[in-house]
Amino acid sequence: MELVEIIKQKQKRKPDDAETYYNRGTAYLDKGQYDQAISDFDKALELNPKYFEAYYNRGVAYKEKAQYDQAISDYTKALEINPRLALAYYGRGIAYCFKREYEKALKDVEKAQSLGHTIPTELLNDLRKTSGGKN
């Protein structure tokens, strides 16, 4: 049985469980089914508005759909709840890159790095050059 189906069975037993929606959303995200993932993350957040992982992963789904403003908003919400979430800084930085907001991108990517996330050297160097920063 596929993971999504297993989670659907669990959801039938516990329909108001934010974690179940989150887990199914993550499974959809892994399969590239972004609209379904977003729908499940929406439901998880309706049930638990402080679920920063759901904001983060919904941001990933929006980024993959090239909906960068929505992605940035969700990454920001995740960071309001958990300001040490390096992946959210990194994801938001990448979304800013796609919007050509390179100074914001560099700031977020450097923050992610300061929190322990490994950043490709080439990305850092390109952002520093593009945003007018120093190598």
What CATH number has the domain bearing residue 50? 1.25.40.10
Residues 54 and 95 in one domain: no
Domain residues for 34?
1-67
132 pLDDT band, cuts 50/70/90, is confident
**pTM here?**
0.87
Q: Is 25 helix (H, G, I), strand (E, B) or coil?
A: helix
Residue type, 9: Q
Residue type, 124: L
Q: What's the pLDDT tens digit per position in 10-32?
A: 556 556 789 999 999 999 999 99
Instruction: Give the tokens for residue 98.
Output: 């796609």
Q: What's the pLDDT tens digit per position in 41-64?
A: 999 999 999 999 999 999 999 999
Residues 97 and 59 in one domain: no
Q: Is the dihedral of CA 115, 21, 37, 4 positive or negative?
A: positive
Query: Rounded to whole angstroms, how far apart are CA atoms 59 and 39?
Result: 12
Query: Rounded to whole angstroms, how far apart are CA atoms 132 and 88?
Result: 24
